[in-house]
């Protein structure tokens, strides 16, 4: 008798078919894994691929991690921690909720999941084609690492449909960049093989755009911030004069999720149309609107979105762009020049030129700097900052080696006759000396900046701010734990401050006798500094009777800034120099590096005149 031709498919086959729908190519796997990391609250995401993701994809995060029980569920189909009722489907808060990404990827690859929660619950699972091959203990810091090897190894047909290594790699980069732009607050590291291809340092959106699409493009973008009829549009767009971007420089997000929408693409192109038919503007737009006004097609591969009222969305986006052009026009109108803003009565009577550290002879020692527009959020543009630097200045510049040529106190009566007119601000022309110093002219004379010291100051304050905000301190597990000897006193102190150390990203364990091992250190800290930092921390605790995390925070911030700042010998682009100047001026203590070295010196016109014996 002929056996029945219809039979129930095995789970394995069902998984493989489903996997094909969800995971079309390596980039889809990367996208799903990164989204899971974001959903897990990661502040740092590392992605590494080999051979266009076909051989290897690694996505590591410092999110909340999974306990053993969740680990053993996450790779099964229709398991999710994100959707509890059907109603949740209509309130998209997280990226995923179908509970099939991990299962799909697992079904068609060799997958190793290493994960741990803050409480140390976790484990490591090695799967092949969705079946457990090995189970191990895992004791890393909280977070999850997915290692995907040989994607599509058991679906050879699909494998042959993949593009070249380069084309698959490009698609992955696209995914990484889109996500990174949607989340400038998250640190991203993307490597192809051993080569770092993209690094996104947590910061403002414009800075992230500079990292993602280039600072020369980013610096000229206009900020969008517009609300109409409950639809909010924000982001950055090309000015009408610079619209030679590339097609793929159009980014669109709805609630921070990348989407595609023909309606919006049309609204954009129509707004630019009057400025040239061939217009290819850079547009980075974030939309938000009430839940009931849109419907995201939950098919993970493509996020085409449908709006309840297409015409309305078209109009609002169109208006948002025109409104931005209009504001730009007004800001650049000769009748409303920047000098008007600079002359705001709160500081001085006279307008203060940009980068002016020298107080006008009559003024109180309160200085005002204004961030240059370059490389900064326009919303920040008009922010003014007052600080008193007179004392610092005196100390700093009375140091013997600097004292000869520097005076920040314009000599009474020696001020050159023709004090420059307080003109509307124009960026000073800056140039590099020996790829180490930046020189430029300002109203008072010549300014010379030590690029390393200045950049260190900027990064140091940023790092401090991040740390002091209680932001997660990224921890990095050491491949080879570092042994460290504690004194008796240190040993005693350690017992009581271990929890604080962990919060700071240090994971130190007793090894035997007076020896301890450092198993993880804050990512921002080079290993060489980490040991010193632990000793310092313990000493400071012993000294004060209680833990002083401030000191260690400071050590970390200093070390971080020093290693990440421009070094002497780094060639800087004009826009990088301008950005550095601007950022330096808006730091708390622009005159000193975190280590107390001067960041800049000035040769005043007066001093020049003296030198030349006028």
Min dist. Cβ of residue 84 to ligand ADP (A): 11
Three-state DSSP at 280 gives strand
Min dist. Cβ of residue 298 to ligand ADP (A): 10
Nearest alpha carbon to residue 63 among 475, 524, 504, 465? 475
Contacts with Mg ion: how many residues (CB under 5 A)? 3
Which token pair is 451?
A: 């690029």
Q: Do residues 473 and 504 lie in contact, with contact meaning Cβ atoms separated by under 8 Å? A: yes
Which token pair is 497?
A: 């401050």
Residue 310 makes CB contacts below 8 A (sequence gap 6+) with: 263
Q: Which does 138 bind (CB under 5 to 8 A by kind): Mg ion, ligand ADP, none?
A: none
Closer by beta carbon to ligand ADP, 28 or else 250: 28
End-to-end CA distance of the chain: 116
**DSSP per-residue string spanning 210-236:** HHHH-HHHHTTPEEEEEEETTEEEEEE
Site for ligand ADP in 411-470 (CB under 6 A): none
Among 36, 62, 114, 324, binds ligand ADP (CB under 6 A): 36
Min dist. Cβ of residue 143 to ligand ADP (A): 7
Q: Cβ-closest residue to Mg ion?
A: 96
Q: Do residues 87 and 131 lie in contact, with contact meaning Cβ atoms separated by under 8 Å? A: no
Min dist. Cβ of residue 101 to ligand ADP (A): 3
**Cα gap 211→34, rounded to integer Å:** 19
**DSSP per-residue string spanning 240-267:** TT--B--GGGEEEEETTEE-B-HHHHHH
Site for ligand ADP in 97-116 (CB under 6 A): 97-103
188 binds ligand ADP (CB under 6 A): no
36 binds Mg ion (CB under 5 A): yes
Stretch that binds Mg ion, among 34-42, 48-56, 154-162, 529-537 (CB under 5 A): 34-42
The H-or-E segment that residue 439 falls in is: strand 437-442
Site for ligand ADP in 131-150 (CB under 6 A): 144
Which token pair is 334?
A: 């000769």
Q: Which does 258 bind (CB under 5 to 8 A by kind): ligand ADP, Mg ion, none?
A: none
Closer by beta carbon to ligand ADP, 65 or else 281: 65
211 binds ligand ADP (CB under 6 A): no
What's CA 468's distance to the chain center, in Å? 17
- 505 to 544: interface string for ligand ADP, x by CB under 6 A: ----------------------------------------
67 binds ligand ADP (CB under 6 A): no
Q: Do residues 313 and 231 lie in contact, with contact meaning Cβ atoms separated by under 8 Å? A: yes
Among 32, 371, 450, 461, binds ligand ADP (CB under 6 A): 32
- 52 to 91: interface string for Mg ion, x by CB under 5 A: ----------------------------------------
User: Using H for helix, E for strand and C for coil, what is the string for 20-47?
Assistant: HHHCCCHHHHHHHHHHHHHHCCCCEEEE
Min dist. Cβ of residue 161 to ligand ADP (A): 23
Contacts with ligand ADP: how many residues (CB under 6 A)? 24
Instruction: Write the CA distances from 356 to 367, 436, 441, 581, integer angstroms.
Output: 8, 22, 10, 12
Among 26, 63, 130, 235, binds ligand ADP (CB under 6 A): 63
Three-state DSSP at 547 gives coil
Which token pair is 469?
A: 């905000």
96 binds Mg ion (CB under 5 A): yes
74 binds ligand ADP (CB under 6 A): yes
Q: Do residues 37 and 58 lie in contact, with contact meaning Cβ atoms separated by under 8 Å? A: no
**Cα gap 589→581, rounded to integer Å:** 13
Among 51, 72, 81, 310, binds ligand ADP (CB under 6 A): 81
Which token pair is 321?
A: 């762009």
**Cα gap 472→42, rounded to integer Å:** 9
Q: Cβ-closest residue to ligand ADP?
A: 96
101 binds Mg ion (CB under 5 A): yes
48 binds ligand ADP (CB under 6 A): no
Which token pair is 65?
A: 């991690």
Q: Do residues 445 and 606 lie in contact, with contact meaning Cβ atoms separated by under 8 Å? A: yes
Q: Which does 191 bind (CB under 5 to 8 A by kind): ligand ADP, Mg ion, none?
A: none
104 binds Mg ion (CB under 5 A): no
Closer by beta carbon to Mg ion, 42 or else 205: 42
Give the interface with Mg ion as residue ranges (CB under 5 A): 36, 96, 101
Give the interface with ligand ADP as residue ranges (CB under 6 A): 32, 36-37, 40, 61, 63-66, 70, 74, 79-82, 96-103, 144
């Amino acid at each position: 008798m002929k056996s029945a031709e219809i039979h129930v498919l095995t789970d394995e086959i069902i998984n493989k078919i489903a996997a094909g729908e969800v995971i079309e190519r390596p980039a889809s796997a990367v996208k799903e894994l990164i989204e899971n990391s974001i959903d897990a609250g990661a502040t740092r995401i590392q992605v590494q691929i080999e051979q266009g993701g076909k051989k290897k994809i690694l996505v590591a995060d410092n999110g909340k991690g999974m306990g053993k029980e969740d680990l053993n569920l996450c790779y099964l189909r229709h398991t999710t921690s994100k959707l509890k009722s059907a109603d949740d489907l209509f309130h998209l808060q997280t990226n995923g909720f179908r509970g099939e990404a991990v299962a799909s990827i697992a079904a068609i690859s060799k997958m190793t999941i290493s994960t741990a929660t803050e409480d140390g619950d976790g484990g490591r699972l090695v799967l092949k084609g969705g079946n457990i091959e090995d189970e191990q203990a895992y004791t890393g810091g909280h977070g999850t690492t997915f290692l995907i090897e040989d994607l599509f190894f058991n679906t050879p047909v699909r494998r042959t449909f993949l593009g070249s290594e380069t084309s698959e790699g490009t698609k992955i980069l696209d995914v990484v960049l889109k996500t990174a732009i949607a989340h400038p607050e998250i640190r991203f590291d993307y490597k192809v093989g051993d080569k770092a291809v993209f690094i996104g340092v947590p910061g403002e959106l414009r800075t992230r755009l500079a990292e993602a699409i280039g600072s020369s493009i980013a610096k000229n973008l206009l900020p969008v911030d517009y609300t109409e009829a409950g639809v909010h549009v924000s982001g950055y767009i090309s000015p009408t004069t610079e619209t030679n971007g590339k097609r793929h420089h159009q980014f669109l997000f709805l609630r921070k999720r990348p989407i595609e929408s023909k309606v919006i693409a049309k609204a954009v192109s129509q707004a630019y149309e009057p400025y040239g038919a061939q217009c290819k503007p850079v547009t980075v737009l974030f939309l938000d609107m009430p839940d009931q006004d849109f419907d995201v097609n939950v098919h993970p591969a493509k996020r085409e979105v449908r709006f309840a009222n297409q015409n309305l969305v078209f109009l609002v986006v169109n208006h948002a762009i025109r409104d931005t052009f209009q504001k730009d026009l007004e800001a650049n109108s000769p009748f409303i020049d920047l000098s008007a803003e600079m002359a705001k009565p709160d500081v001085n009577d006279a307008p203060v030129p940009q980068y002016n550290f020298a107080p006008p002879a009559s003024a109180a020692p309160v200085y005002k700097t204004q961030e240059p527009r370059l490389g900064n959020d326009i919303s920040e543009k008009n922010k003014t900052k007052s600080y008193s630097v007179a004392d610092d200045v005196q100390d700093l510049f009375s140091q013997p080696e600097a004292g000869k040529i520097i005076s920040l106190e314009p000599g009474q009566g020696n001020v050159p006759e023709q004090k420059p007119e307080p003109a509307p601000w124009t960026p000073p022309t800056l140039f590099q000396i020996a790829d180490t110093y930046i020189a430029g002219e300002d109203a008072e004379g010549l300014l010379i900046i030590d690029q390393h010291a200045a950049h260190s100051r900027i990064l140091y304050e940023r790092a401090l701010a991040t740390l002091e905000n209680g932001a997660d301190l990224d921890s990095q597990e050491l491949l080879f734990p570092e042994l460290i000897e504690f004194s008796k006193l240190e040993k005693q102190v350690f017992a009581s401050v271990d929890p604080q150390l962990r919060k700071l990203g240090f994971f130190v364990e007793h090894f035997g006798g007076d020896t301890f091992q450092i198993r993880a250190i804050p990512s921002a800290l080079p290993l060489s500094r980490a040991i010193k930092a632990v000793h310092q921390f313990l000493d400071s605790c012993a000294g004060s009777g209680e833990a002083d995390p401030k000191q260690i925070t400071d050590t970390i911030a200093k070390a971080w800034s020093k290693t990440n700042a421009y070094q002497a010998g780094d060639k800087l682009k004009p826009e990088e120099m301008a950005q550095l100047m601007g950022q330096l001026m808006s730091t708390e203590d622009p005159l000193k590096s975190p280590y107390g070295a001067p960041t800049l010196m000035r040769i005043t016109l007066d001093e020049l005149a003296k030198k030349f014996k006028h």
